[in-house]
Amino acid sequence: MSLTRNLDIPVRERLMFALDVPTRDEALHWVDRLGDQVWFYKIGMELLTSGDYFRLIGELSERGKKVFVDLKFFDVPATVASAVKGLTRYPVDFCTIHGNNAMLEAAAQVKGQIKLLGVTALTSLDDRDLASLGFACDAEALVLSRAKAALAVGCDGVVSSGLEVPALRAGVDHKLIVVCPGIRPVGNVDDQKRTVDVAEAFEAGADYIVVGRPIRQAADPAAAAGAIQATIAQCFAV
């Protein structure tokens, strides 16, 4: 049984598919192709330049899908707050902030019904990368510190590698939502460095996982998504 305490999340919604494609048409193609295997979609910076980003949010909602806006807002607190407040006009379920406590707190004050997620440390960064950026601590310490701060100022959760989830569940209130990217059901040969597989993420206490390339690059993407959903269901089986 998973260590997560957020058991009221529908199992089918725990898989988020990353719509990392350049156009709305391609995004909708993937939504059609994956059908009932995916109910939660993450849309990030690649689609932002398509010109149809916010139109796509509405179309996903009309199809009964949930939307995770992953734009990692980072700017002076007032500007971050204005961006998040503007986002409340759309049917957005989650969005990300990548900044200090002042930015997170400003965003939390205007987030409305959106679940606000603080980015801790990108899964493409390892301890050597963090050291080169000036962080005098390892990834686990950084993630734990940022998670505690995010929850304290009014955020709902964090984005974290599955490797740090046990520390989060041991050291932070269990109401914290934990979303884990960098999921690699198969051998990892890309730019993600701090990775776990599907079962490891949920057994550690993750609430959601984000999967992109392992589904998109599969010979049968819908079947790959279905296999992940089956693994998730097993993690939560009584």
Q: Which residues are annotated as a binding site?
A: 20, 42, 70-79, 123, 184, 192, 212-213
- Per the structure block, which two tokens stand in for 114? 């959106």
CA angle in degrees (0–180, nearest 5) for 103-22-79: 20
What is the set of active-site residues? Answer: 70, 72, 75
SS3 of 113-147: the string is CCEEEEECCCCCCCHHHHHHCCCCCCHHHHHHHHH
Report phi then psi at 156, rounded to 5.
-95, -25
Write out the binding residues for substrate.
20, 42, 70-79, 123, 184, 192, 212-213
Q: How many CB atoms lie within 10 A of CB 233?
A: 12
H or E element, residue 101: helix 101-108
The separation between CA 33 and the C-alpha centre of its own chain, rounded to angstroms, equals 21
Which pairs with CB-CB distance under 8 Å and at least 24 residues apart come from 57-64?
57/90, 57/91, 57/92, 58/90, 58/91, 59/24, 59/28, 60/31, 60/91, 61/91, 63/31, 64/39
Q: How many helices (H) and strands (E) does the chain have?
A: 11, 8
